[in-house]
Chains A and B, each alone.
Chain A
Amino acid sequence: MPDDQKKPIGASTSELHREVAELMVECLNLEITAGEITPDAPLYGEGLGLDSIDVLEVSLVVSKRYGLQLRADNPDNQHIFSSLRSLSDYIAAHRTR
């Protein structure tokens, strides 16, 4: 785990971050390793560079893996996918497995 994750987060949170980052790398064939995705870097645009097609792909994998359905609160809501942390928080709050 890189040193930049020294924030006061529980072990299970960082494990989930790692797990979700690995899911994204695998699902999207990203040319980076899971460890290179930092929790607060934006996933869209200038950060990891995901677009809405990627988000849909990842949401399907996440739905199956954690037994949840992603829901947007409004048409522009890209909040869940704003960072690895927000995606992991959403999963932690809604997972059924």
Chain B
Amino acid sequence: MKPRDIIKRSGRNLRQAKARTILTASAIAVGTFALTLTLAASNGAQHFVDNIINNNFDPSELIVANDKSVFGRADSATPREYDSSFGQGLSSANAAIQFKQLSDSDIVKISAEPYTENLRKGITINLTYLTRAGQKKYVGVASTFNPAQHPDLSSGRIPSNLGGNDILLPEAYVEALGFKDAKDAIGKSITLTVRKSFDATDIQTALAQGLSAESIKSLGQTSVTEVPFTVAAVIKKPTTAQPGTELYMFISADAASRLNDIATKGTANYHKYNFVYVKVKNGNNSSDLIAAQDKLKAMGYTAQSTADTQKFLTDIIKVLQGIVAAFGAIAVIASVFGIVNTMYISVIQRTREIGLMKALGMRAKDVGRLFRFEAAWIGFLGGIMGSVIAFGVGTALNPWITTKLSLGAGNSLLIFQVKQIAVLIAILMIVAVLAGFFPARKASKLDPIQALRTE
């Protein structure tokens, strides 16, 4: 018997028992539904992570720190010995932690390495406030602009070399600072204010002047430094920024150092950095990047590549998805018993038909195939049902999820890929065929004489 005829006949047999077929396939559909959504969520999360990485990091750069705690890999259960160079920071659980920072000597040492093309300090400054003449004061954070960043602009442009007083202003501040629109903000001045630490010179000066009310007041005034910046561009609300950095404004590395020096002078954090970006020569070549990473590690530093960051993020996603996928797989396994049961009932009900087919010369192999194809059809039907429902539900919910999770326009949590769904359905068909193995074997081994005598 030709395979095409077996396939057609098996499909016809299933159509004759529609209710039973649909119910059996529904069990598979439940598992398929969960697995399709898991795959779609996996694609969406991967896409989102890739966008974050591509829009915020240069793959030829390494992020270098002096302490693995910077990357959230601190051993929080073991006491650490005090080091006078420790800086303050927050763990991933927002607990206060101390970690060893990079100093100027570290930067000189790393810059001198043959693989270092250039080095950029990772500086983030908590502003006391930012404002504009005649406007309210707002809290804010300024950070070093990373040339690998490609923010969408509402207005203006990003100069190839960000000037000492240029600032990239988030769109959210446009209205708050009294600009008519993004275009109106371009070329206008805003003021960033940082609180200057008290240092010995200031106090000595105040003491020399005598601790009058006037000298104490002037001491308070000097503790705040206002630095004017010119808006070079207004950046749209980022859809793929690192979470929590949506309102960051960006300034040049020089300007960031200047502000940081003002804010940290006289403190333990002066000229200390949590991390630096090291651009590696031929860093796009993974072997060169890994070689540089190994050398930095040998020097006692912790170096993380873009791929490491990406892996760190995707690993977390994969664990969560693995749990959901496991539930889907359990549903599929449960449905296997449904297929076995349905197929056994089918063999019993069609004993005389099997006897007739064998009497007419149908080979036992083809009888087995007929039932295995029926099982495959059930798997196919269940797969189609589950994936179509998942696609429908996912497509309907995507806009709501995007808004709820603030993923930003152009991003979706659920991304369906036809190829993946096709592979999933193919796997389900194989699972169904395996489930139908024993009933098909029973059918193929039936004695035609006994089968024809069955009432």
User: A and B, one complex?
Assistant: no
Chain A interfacial positions (CB closer than 8 Å to B): none
Chain B interfacial positions (CB closer than 8 Å to A): none
